Amino acid sequence: MTSKEISQTAPGAPTPDKSGRRTGWVRSIDPQLLGLAVALGILVLIIGVQVPGKFFRISNLLNIGQAVTLIGLTGLASTVVIISGGLDISIGSIVGLCSAAALAMVTLDNAAFGIVAAVGIGLTAGMVNGLLITVGRINPVITTLGTLSAYRGIAWIMTGGYAVGVSNKAFNSIGSSEILGIPTPLVILIVVAVLFQIFLAYTDVGRNIFAMGGNPTAARLAGIGLNRYKLGIYMLSGLCAALAAIVLTARTNSGQPASGSAGLELEAITAAVLGGTAMSGGVGSVLGTMLGVLIIGTLNNGMILLNVPSFYQFVARGVLLIVAMLIQNWRTRGTQ
């Protein structure tokens, strides 16, 4: 992102919303996304001016790319969950749980086992969430708040509280290899993002997810089986958590019940909200969330480069979510 680009996009930012926005991605390149791009550009400028030598180095940019993979995979999952009118705050814990599971299987010295274990556990954890929400009729926030703690605890029990090393070359290569010069984790994120975009914009299921979030009663009376959809959506969230766990475990060469995944739900939800996903459901886009992910990744990286103490980083992440919500409220008030 260069300053030239910014000067081109800036005038477009304050233009009023056009009709038909948020429907299909071509039209959704709207003021909101331009605003996000401008925010990202400003962020890059500020950090770039402070530590130009470090920030713009290729290795650092690839670093950001790696770091955003986790936020990206969980952020995309959160986007779909929130569009459908739900919320999954257990997603970070599921990542930790899957990571522990992957570790346990990889110690048998088979990379495929590790992947299957992570995916299986992720889907199961998501299914438990989905069943509690649909059959148990528990509010999604409460459900996933409970499982947030429970899943984390199970992960601790499985690993005995330690981050144990993984020494399987094939498995570790997922984290360290490159495809066409791009780190494999980043390739995984890009592929998943493209699949999500196709899923949401072009399939009947994706379109129905927007409808059920926008008006659940109308969706039910139009023949959308809400419980089946919810179950599937929380399982999708678990699947994305499993992918994130595989990347995390492979990259750090260890099973990480907590250190690598704690607080991930916060960043995932922040990315979605920054990207314009409405907490009330029915509105959101893959492109917006990906911009939100980049903003968070850049901010995190910048804070490290600028030696911001980690306690202050926590404050900054929390404030970012709140600010994102405030911006969203302010926007929707403008349209009504």
Partner 1 sequence: MVEIARSIKAEVILLALDEPTSSLSDEDANRLFHIVGQFRSRGAAIIYVSHRLREVLALADRIAVLRDGQLVTVQPAAGMNEGDLVRYMVGRNITNLYGEKTRRLGECVLQVENLSAAGVHNISFDLHRGEVLGFAGLVGAGRTDLAKALFGDRRTTGGRVLLKGREVKWHEPEDAIDQGIGFAPEDRKREALVLDRSVKDNISLVILRQISRFRFVRRVQEARVVNHLVDRLRIKTPSTQQNVRKLSGGNQQKVVLARWLARDPDVLILDEPTRGVDVGAKSEIYRLIDEMAAQGMGVIFISSEMPEILGVSDRILVMQGGQITGELAADGATEEAILRLAMAKHLVEEQVP
Interacting residue with partner 1 among 9, 13, 23, 124 (CB under 8 A): 23
Interacting residue with partner 1 among 148, 224, 231, 246 (CB under 8 A): 224
Q: How far is the CB of 22 from partner 1 (least distance, A)?
A: 7
Angle at 75 between CA 292 and CA 134, to 5 degrees: 140
Examine residue 19 and tell whether it contacts partner 1 (CB under 8 A): yes
Tokens 């890059």 belong to residue: 44
Residue 28: strand, helix, or coil: coil
Q: If binding means CB under 8 A, how many residues of this protein chain bind partner 1?
A: 26
CA 71/CA 77 separation, integer angstroms:
10
* CB nearer to partner 1: pick between 48 and 214: 214
* CB nearer to partner 1: pick between 55 and 210: 210
* CB nearer to partner 1: pick between 27 and 57: 27
CA 133/CA 230 separation, integer angstroms:
8
Examine residue 20 and tell whether it contacts partner 1 (CB under 8 A): yes
H or E segment to which residue 229 belongs: helix 226-252
Examine residue 22 and tell whether it contacts partner 1 (CB under 8 A): yes
Return the structure tokens found at 215: 């008006």
Return the structure tokens found at 66: 């790696």
Examine residue 223 and tell whether it contacts partner 1 (CB under 8 A): yes
Q: How far is the CB of 200 from partner 1 (least distance, A)?
A: 12
Long-range contacts: 125-128, Cβ < 8 Å, 24+?
Answer: 125/90, 125/94, 125/97, 125/98, 125/151, 125/238, 125/241, 126/88, 126/94, 126/234, 126/235, 126/236, 126/237, 126/238, 126/239, 126/241, 127/231, 127/234, 127/235, 127/238
CA 135/CA 227 separation, integer angstroms:
8
Q: How far is the CB of 98 from partner 1 (least distance, A)?
A: 27
Contact 263, 276 (CB under 8 A): no
From residue 257 to residue 286, the character string flagging contacts with partner 1 as x (rule: CB under 8 A) and all else as - is -------------------------xx---
* CB nearer to partner 1: pick between 113 and 199: 199
Examine residue 300 and tell whether it contacts partner 1 (CB under 8 A): no
* CB nearer to partner 1: pick between 215 and 313: 215
Q: How far is the CB of 264 from partner 1 (least distance, A)?
A: 29
Residues of this chain, 202-221, that bind partner 1 according to CB under 8 A? 202-205, 207-208, 210-211, 214-215, 217-221
Q: How far is the CB of 202 from partner 1 (least distance, A)?
A: 5
Query: Of the listed pieces 20-28, 116-124, 133-141, 292-300, which binds partner 1 according to CB under 8 A?
Result: 20-28
H or E segment to which residue 208 belongs: helix 204-214
CA 141/CA 147 separation, integer angstroms:
10
Residue numbers of the site for partner 1 (CB under 8 A)? 19-20, 22-23, 27, 202-205, 207-208, 210-211, 214-215, 217-225, 282-283
